[in-house]
Structure 1
Amino acid sequence: MDVSAFKDYYIPMNKGMWRDLEKGDISKPELINTRFSRAFVHFGLEKDGKELAQLYQRFLSQQGQTYEGARELLADLKQAGYQIYAATNGVTAIQEGRLERSGLLPYFDAIFISEQLATAKPSLDFFEKVSERIAGFSKEKTLMIGDSLTADMAGGAAFGIDTAWYNSKQLDNNSSVQPTYTLSDYSDLRALLLR
């Protein structure tokens, strides 16, 4: 099988399935357990999607790559007194493993994973559950930073908090979602929060 052709098909198909999850059109188990089998079917091969998902999760959870400058930025934000939380729709086993191996876990006050909350971004229920678990939560003092217009920006805006779209690839915003801020790199975030 041509790996390049597989990736060319799989990447947009997988992104589409995550968008379907955000819209509530599919469930998390359906996404996780069928995305690989769907991709292989496209190339005429029958594979067990659930088995491939388990292998993928095991290997991906053992990786902990970070972007250059992430650790320094998080350290500076903590030093400045910020509370930092992570909110993800990702798979629990993967997210916990990656954060542990990245060395970034100590910078976060808490991690909120959709599977554990039984709801996903951009649902208002997700944001409400997160806010209930943060002592002294204030919408006026909260900034949702994320790279997804549909999950992070739309969800945050609907919940009534400021949003910052991390748009490092300089993508066009062809949606109706208008983030409060648009950031192209960490220096933008540093300038916004560490004035």
Structure 2
Amino acid sequence: MGPTMQGSRQPVATTLTSTRPWAPVSSRIASKSPALPRAMQDGRGCSAGRSLMQTKTNFRGFPARAIGAPDPGVRGGGRHRSLPAVTEVGAGMVRSGGKSPWVLLDLDGTVLDYDRAEREAVLATLAGVGLPADGDMVARYRQVNARHWSALERGATTAARLRTERWAELLAETVPERTGDIDLGALASAYVANLAAGAYLLPAAAEVVAELAGTHRIAYITNGLADVQRPRLAATSLADLGEVLIISDEVGAAKPAAAIFEAALSAMGEPDPRTVTMVGDSLSADIAGGRAIGFPTVWVARAQQPDPTDPALRPDRRITAIGELPGVLRG
């Protein structure tokens, strides 16, 4: 995340409202100051130079900076719709809500096709510096990357370290002779740009979330880098259907830590956790974290995955495709 910001300035939340229900937000921006997780109150988790100060904008209410704006280094960046920078992680996106229950959706592996986006990004990044770009290198990268993300979830590393250290480890394992002539920072930035362009939905995701939006309020929560997740979500139809987006990179805590779920609850207006259904594909991040905070949980499992034996990882419901979710929520 970079150096910790100093000071005790309280972020000012921005709530976007509309003159008519479920309409694109354009009428006004109203400010208020809700209770925030302590990690957000004292500035932890904010990268150096990235405050949560308010910026006026004229499009969706995704929180924080440069939400979907084209990045000069992002392949196909011109196709990303410009989204606004507002003050607080998790501020309202597009729609004013009623009293409907919430669905809190994980992104990658639940509604977004991360496997495809990652594969294309790894191949493009490796090819860009003249390294072997093939399936074996993708597999090796995924092994290394999984270790680093696991460390992040345990609090043993930071997003800033993860960006470069996963590439340093991959190069050391596969092409040690090239480690001295490759700029890790540039390599990591190229990968983030390539990955940010991979906005692919999983089958039926768009239809399912659109259906749920008629009966539930939609929020998204993701362990990821803001520079990657914002443009990916912004380039899909899901951006128009949600009200809250929570990214670990911005909160300073990753699922399953309580702080990221507390940030989500704060952004949703402090609903009873029992009215918020957490839906995700990771037992350790989505299900364990959701259960600990008091959410009902739905696990989107791969068909061959066995049911967990650890009670802390046991979901309330199991599905094997996102298309089953509306039926589960209807009971």
User: Normalized against structure 1, the TM-score is what?
Assistant: 0.92
Q: Which residue of 1 aligns with 2:173?
A: 42
Q: In the alignment, which of 149, 154, 162 is matched to residue 23 of structure 1?
A: 154
Residue 237 of structure 2 is aligned to residue 103 of structure 1: yes
Q: Does the 8 Å CA contact 1:164/1:182 hold for their aligned counterparts?
A: yes
Residue 251 of structure 2 is aligned to residue 132 of structure 1: no
Q: Which residue of 2 aligns with 1:142?
A: 276
**Cα distance in 1, alignment partners of residues 274 and 140 from structure 2:** 42
Q: Which residue of 2 aligns with 1:32?
A: 163
- Alpha-carbon RMSD across the aligned residues, in angstroms, is 1.7
Once the two structures are TM-superposed, the CA of residue 103 in structure 1 deviates from its matched residue by 2.3
Q: Does the 8 Å CA contact 2:213/2:241 hold for their aligned counterparts?
A: yes
Q: In the alignment, which of 166, 180, 192 is matched to residue 316 of structure 2?
A: 180
The code of the aligned residue for 1:179 comes to: P
> Rg bigger for which structure?
2
**Cα distance in 1, alignment partners of residues 248 and 148 from structure 2:** 16
How many positions carry a matched residue from both structures? Answer: 194
Deviates more, 1:4-13 or 1:150-159: 4-13
**Cα distance in 2, alignment partners of residues 61 and 187 from structure 1:** 25
User: Normalized against structure 2, the TM-score is what?
Assistant: 0.56
**Cα distance in 1, alignment partners of residues 202 and 301 from structure 2:** 14
Identity %: 26
The one-character-per-residue Cα deviations of 1:118-152 (angstroms, maximum 9, x if unpaired) are 22111111111211121251111111111111111
- Higher RCO (C-alpha 8 Å, min separation 6): 2
Q: Which residue of 2 aligns with 1:65?
A: 200
Q: Which residue of 1 aligns with 2:49?
A: none
Q: Does the 8 Å CA contact 2:290/2:296 hold for their aligned counterparts?
A: yes
Q: Which residue of 1 aligns with 2:219?
A: 85
The one-character-per-residue Cα deviations of 1:125-181 (angstroms, maximum 9, x if unpaired) are 111121112125111111111111111111111111111111134322456211111
More helix by share: 1
Query: Which portions of structure 1, spanning 4 or more consecutive aligned residues, are displaced by more than 4 angstroms?
Result: none
Residue 189 of structure 2 is aligned to residue 54 of structure 1: yes
**Runs (5+) with no aligned partner, structure 1:** none
Q: Which residue of 2 aligns with 1:5?
A: 136
Q: Does the 8 Å CA contact 1:71/1:104 hold for their aligned counterparts?
A: yes
Label 1:49 to 1:150 Cα distance change in 2 as closer, same or farther (>3 A). Answer: farther
Q: Which residue of 1 aligns with 2:56?
A: none
